[in-house]
Amino acid sequence: MSYGLTVLGSVNLDLIVQVADLPQPGETVTGGIYTALPGGKGANVAVAAKRLGAETEIMAAVGNDDYAAQALVNLEKEGVYLDAVRRVDAHTGLAFITVSADGENQIAVASGANAAYAPQDVPKLCSNVLITQFEIPTATIEGALEGYNGFVTVNASPVRTGVDAILKRADLIIVNEGEAAQYDLKNYAGLVAITLGAKGAEMRIGNKVLARAAPPKVNVIDTTGAGDAFAAGLTVALAEKQSPQDALDFACAVGALTTTKLGTQTASPIRAQVDALLGR
């Protein structure tokens, strides 16, 4: 690609237990299968974008512990630039994920280094495109955006208050249905993409719907990380100047393919797989 893409976000190690059914409140479910995989919304997006062909760097924080190397291994393997990753005095972020046989999941996160990632730890942004999410401090995102003139995607997840200035700066906001209901986006002037689970997604500007897309039929194994892959796919496609409809079709295909494998980063498709699924 002729442009550069920066992901400003979280890096975690995902500790995953596969079970037949998700536990109910107060219930213990046994017989699970354990796996540890690199994760974090920022790292997931960075790997997905790199696999789709974008020259990608990540700005993030990890701890001075043994988890850090495990959390960064896929980013390094995929060729994501890690020069801006900072080591801080906190444990590397950890996500505890339970996945059921039908692909649904429950996630609890111990933020660690992600919460300790401070504005002064972020170097000046020099790329043409930025993707960020809300697993790092609001002040850190706001500081990074000061004076930045590139295209900004905000995947406004998890839901957070006090982020109006960030949302107003965004060129593209990505939310799911539940998140969309918790933000006041009625007066937002930029692009808004809303993911609708198995029904696909729509993209609008103001009250005008620009595109609707349904995901291709796939064999769902694990839905974890599909939203992160969608965000990477939509941003990459728009940066390539694809039309709104083509970009949304592309992002839905990226998200769908991600659900066909266990995990997040390891499940992200490469560009050839997405193009083949779309018949391009």
In what order do the strands lie in the sheet containing 12-18? 33-39, 12-18, 93-99, 105-110
**How many CB atoms sit inside 10 A of residue 158's CB?**
12
Closest CA to 115 of 86, 83, 82, 90: 90
- Residue of 14, 121, 222, 228 marked catalytic: 228
Q: How far apart are CA 241 and CA 194, in angstroms?
A: 20
Query: Which two structure tokens, joined as six digits, stand for 142?
Result: 């706001």
Q: Give catalytic status of residue 275 as yes or no.
A: no
DSSP 119: G
Chain-centroid distance, C-alpha 59: 14
Rounded CA separation 117/139 (Å) = 10
Q: Do 144 and 119 contact (CB within 8 A), yes or no? A: yes
Rounded to whole angstroms, the Cα distance separating 187 from 181 reads: 14
Q: Which amino acid is at 87?
A: R
CB 42 within 8 A of CB 49: no
- Residues, the chain, total? 280
Neighbour-count burial for 5-14, b at 16+ CB within 10 Å, e otherwise: bbbbbbbbbb
Q: How many CA atoms lie within 13 A of 206 on its CB side?
A: 2
Give the residue numbers marked as catalytic.
228
